[in-house]
Amino acid sequence: MKCIINRRAQFSASHRYWLPELSEAENQDRFGACARAPGHGHNYVLYVAMEGELDQYGMVLNLSDVKTVIQREIIDPLDFSHLNDTWPELQTTLPTTEHLARSMWQRLSPHLPLVNLQLFEHPQLWADYQGHDMEASLTLSTHFSAAHRLALTHLSYEENCEIYGKCARPHGHGHNYHLEVTVTGDIDPRTGMIADLSKLQHIIKSQVVEPFDHTFLNKDIPYFAEVVPTAENIAVHIRDLLQAPLAVTGARLHKVKLIESPNNSAEVYGS
């Protein structure tokens, strides 16, 4: 019987986004604060997913052996380093989160049966890599606060309460929504990016966060005048709002995940 196991590791390192063929002004325009010398740092968290058959001891792999491999191949060379000066591929291609995940895969895959590497640069930005040549995924996490009411206009209050319970109360209720947007694309061999990160952040902010934040969705967002703003419907609408704008960045919208509360979330996928 096959099983997937995960091992967590962490390290601290700095990096800088800077291309010598560009002028200082061009680097600043393209990479913003990330271009500042001598660089900036992160506490990286890495999740290594591996798949295999259970052995006679009930294990896919001995986790002590896994820890040794990750320590030798990843942690020892990168912890407390300036990433631009470490591995050769990080000297020719900028050490973005997605490119760093790909580089880690190349070092770990000869030793471990990998199925996914997930690298967090910080809690609101992480990359996934699954060994598909230059293709990687990048996830941006953000949040907004909004109120909503779950009710169908053609039903009575009592009928709506039968369907939606307390969520049908007339004055609505609010949530601190957490939004995760995942895009997929090919890593640029020079910049290390699948898309311009600042553009991605701007699109998500302008299309979703600013219009939705501190609103009563049923009244302030025209789409929900006729559509009940369940977590599922909100996620679908966010996907539809982001699909075309994100396409111009060169990346494809892969998934939208909306977390309404610690107990409820919805996921929808791009076309």
89 is catalytic: no
**Cross-strand bridge partners of residue 46:** 9, 119
* Helix orientation angle between 231-247 and 197-204, rounded to the nearest 10 degrees: 140
Token pair recorded at residue 174: 């609010």
DSSP state of 188: P
24 is catalytic: no
162 is catalytic: no
142, 204 Cβ separation under 8 angstroms: yes
- Report the candidate in 262, 254, 162 with the shortest Cα–Cα distance to residue 200: 254
Out of 98, 121, 180, 260, the active site residue is: 260
Out of 167, 178, 232, 267, the active site residue is: 167
Alpha carbons 176 and 32: distance in angstroms, whole number: 29
| E strand residue ranges, 123-244 | 125-129, 135-148, 173-186, 215-216
Out of 40, 122, 173, 214, the active site residue is: 214
Catalytically annotated residues: 167, 214, 260
